[in-house]
Structure 1
Amino acid sequence: MSETSFNISVLASGSTGNSLYIETDKRKVLVDAGLSGKKITSLLSSIDRSPEDLDAILVTHEHRDHIHGVGVLARKYHLDIYANELTWQAMEKSIGNVPVEQRNIFDMGKIMTFGDMDIESFGVSHDAIAPQFYRFYKDNKSFVVLTDTGYCSEQVKGVIKNADAYLLESNHDPNMLRMGRYPWNTKQRILGDKGHLSNEDGALAATEIIGDRTKHIYLGHLSKENNMKELANMTVTGILQQHNIDAGGQVKIMDTDPDKACDLFAI
């Protein structure tokens, strides 16, 4: 058994596009491809990886900032695409033709064995047809991707508890959002139960899911208009410390970027 179970990079995270790279000894996978194929290729190159090495793309939901490059990459590199059936129906016109042998159904609430890892899907509350995110398992280690949800239900908290690392949504500061230039209906959507987690909401969810294994939390899907990295990090760190969680010590709070890949990290 290798000491490292996963190597992971948040390639891009934000309102303009999202993609995460995760690899094991036997598999290399993207979660979402919400930027152009050219941009994702460039981001992979920045961590010394190539789209030719990829085995698959897991899709969370059909919004453009998660699927923009899916079709192009699937066709060019003959990649398997995994999504639940309703998401396939919702995104088909947007991603164009994908050969039938590359189209795979990954039902919500199921666990799929993929090479040398297991992947568990779970549903979230977001204004998409059937949004789902993923927990990856290998060698008694695990990693969770959770963005694009209006709240974190007790059921979801149970599924994602005590992972080694997380990509967790920290989308907006509520005051910045309320004072900002978005139309009121857009503000209501973001603040609602099918919108996005605020800095505070993400932090409070984190206090209930962090366990003795947890070492890293990457703050994801920050709004360019309604948040700042420093504010998100400060808010989450403060709330964790209020709950007697050693943020910066036991648990490191990490930033992500909308157009620059994070360094590969191992768990």
Structure 2
Amino acid sequence: MRFSILASGSTGNSILVETDQTTLLFDAGLSGKQIETRLKEIEIDPRSIDAIVVTHEHSDHIKGVGVLARRYSLPVYTHEKTWVEMDRLIGEIPIEQKFSFDEGEVRSFADLSVESFAISHDAAFPMGFCIYEGDKKLTIATDLGYVSQRIKETISGSNAYIFESNHDVEMLRMGRYPWNIKRRILSDVGHLSNEDAGEALSDILEGQGEKVYLSHLSQDNNMTELARLTVKNILEESGFSVDKDVKLLSTSPIKPTPIDEI
């Protein structure tokens, strides 16, 4: 299984996952043109995509969904409650390209299996995903206000995690956002702080060389090195050796990560 985080952050999110038999796009939160450009940067032909899977209906996750679905006749999968909100935002696509993805459902796409799980965020029915190819497992868990025990149990045992580390709490508190926005971000239906991410990962990781891509970093209330240092310190306090037991990797809102493989 190979993957690249095409974009990650407050301005847009999209993840490519592929095998020799199938190619999936999880979210398309950039314009269709930008998604195509990012795909070409990692030498992926947009025409090779088999389906789009959507986590939730916020614009930084769906901006390019309609354009790409129409241009390449792609099926789109998301929860039926998300469809209700998303339908009016992405423009018209043929009914035969619309598919529901229920909570806890496992769907097969050639040699990939995708399992959904509910997350806590202020959207209609937000979900994360575990993607399987044989004994390999990749987890996508971003845009969640907290990590429940159920989620920890669902995603544990992954070889790689695309995991939210959205903000530094002090930067957010002292920053320019209105208080109602700060309160929303800090709430249980908001986003994970760097500290939240580190604490959750210390419970989830097994120290078997897992890769963790710190994702959905706020461009106003976080910094790449600060997120990494905060999570690293918490993991090391919990007994992990970062770079040996677990690898912490960065994502970007402006360029795709190199294709990785598990």
Alignment TM-score > 0.5, same fold: yes
2:219 pairs, out of 202, 219, 224, with: 224
Q: Tell me, in whole angstroms, the C-alpha distance in 2 between the residues paired with 1:43 and 1:224.
A: 19
Contact 1:162 1:213 (8 Å CA) reproduced: no
Structure 1: gaps (5+ residues): 1-5
1:208 pairs, out of 203, 212, 217, with: 203
Q: Tell me, in whole angstroms, the C-alpha distance in 2 between the residues paired with 1:38 and 1:259.
A: 14
Contact 1:237 1:247 (8 Å CA) reproduced: yes
Give the 5 Å matches for 1:117-196. 117-196=112-191
Q: Tell me, in whole angstroms, the C-alpha distance in 2 between the residues paired with 1:130 and 1:17.
A: 19
SS of equivalent residue, structure 1 residue 217: strand
SS of equivalent residue, structure 2 residue 240: coil
Residue 8 of structure 1 and its aligned partner are, at CA, apart by 0.5
Structure 2: gaps (5+ residues): none
Is residue 246 from structure 1 mapped to residue 241 from structure 2 by the alignment?
yes
Residue 98 of structure 1 and its aligned partner are, at CA, apart by 1.1
SS of equivalent residue, structure 2 residue 146: coil
Q: Tell me, in whole angstroms, the C-alpha distance in 2 between the residues paired with 1:13 and 1:214.
A: 23
Contact 1:163 1:211 (8 Å CA) reproduced: no
Question: What is residue 3 of structure 1 aligned with on the other side?
Answer: none
Residue 101 of structure 1 and its aligned partner are, at CA, apart by 1.1
Question: What is residue 235 of structure 1 aligned with on the other side?
Answer: 230
Residue 171 of structure 1 and its aligned partner are, at CA, apart by 0.1
Is residue 13 from structure 1 mapped to residue 19 from structure 2 by the alignment?
no
Q: Tell me, in whole angstroms, the C-alpha distance in 2 between the residues paired with 1:214 and 1:151.
A: 24
Contact 1:163 1:213 (8 Å CA) reproduced: no
Residue-by-residue CA offset, 1:49-102 (whole Å, 9 max, x unaligned) = 021110001000000000000000000011110001000011001001111111
Q: Tell me, in whole angstroms, the C-alpha distance in 2 between the residues paired with 1:170 and 1:178.
A: 16
Residue-by-residue CA offset, 1:180-212 (whole Å, 9 max, x unaligned) = 000000000000000000001011110111125
SS of equivalent residue, structure 1 residue 17: coil
Amino acid at match of 1:69: G
Question: What is residue 22 of structure 1 aligned with on the other side?
Answer: 17
Amino acid at match of 2:229: M
SS of equivalent residue, structure 2 residue 30: coil
SS of equivalent residue, structure 1 residue 43: helix
SS of equivalent residue, structure 1 residue 91: helix
Residue 213 of structure 1 and its aligned partner are, at CA, apart by 4.2
Residue 103 of structure 1 and its aligned partner are, at CA, apart by 0.6
Contact 1:162 1:214 (8 Å CA) reproduced: no
Question: What is residue 34 of structure 2 aligned with on the other side?
Answer: 39
SS of equivalent residue, structure 1 residue 135: strand
Q: Tell me, in whole angstroms, the C-alpha distance in 2 between the residues paired with 1:101 and 1:241.
A: 49
Question: Please, which moves more after superposition, 243-252 or 161-170?
Answer: 243-252
Q: Tell me, in whole angstroms, the C-alpha distance in 2 between the residues paired with 1:83 and 1:26.
A: 22
Contact 2:207 2:246 (8 Å CA) reproduced: no
Residue-by-residue CA offset, 1:136-189 (whole Å, 9 max, x unaligned) = 011111000000000000111110012000000000000000000000000000
Q: Tell me, in whole angstroms, the C-alpha distance in 2 between the residues paired with 1:111 and 1:256.
A: 27
Tell me how large the CA RMSD over aligned residues is: 0.8
Q: Tell me, in whole angstroms, the C-alpha distance in 2 between the residues paired with 1:248 and 1:53.
A: 34
Q: Tell me, in whole angstroms, the C-alpha distance in 2 between the residues paired with 1:17 and 1:213.
A: 31
Is residue 96 from structure 1 mapped to residue 91 from structure 2 by the alignment?
yes
SS of equivalent residue, structure 2 residue 16: strand
Instruction: Flag as ranges the 4+ runs of structure 1 deviating above 6 A.
Output: none
Amino acid at match of 2:125: A
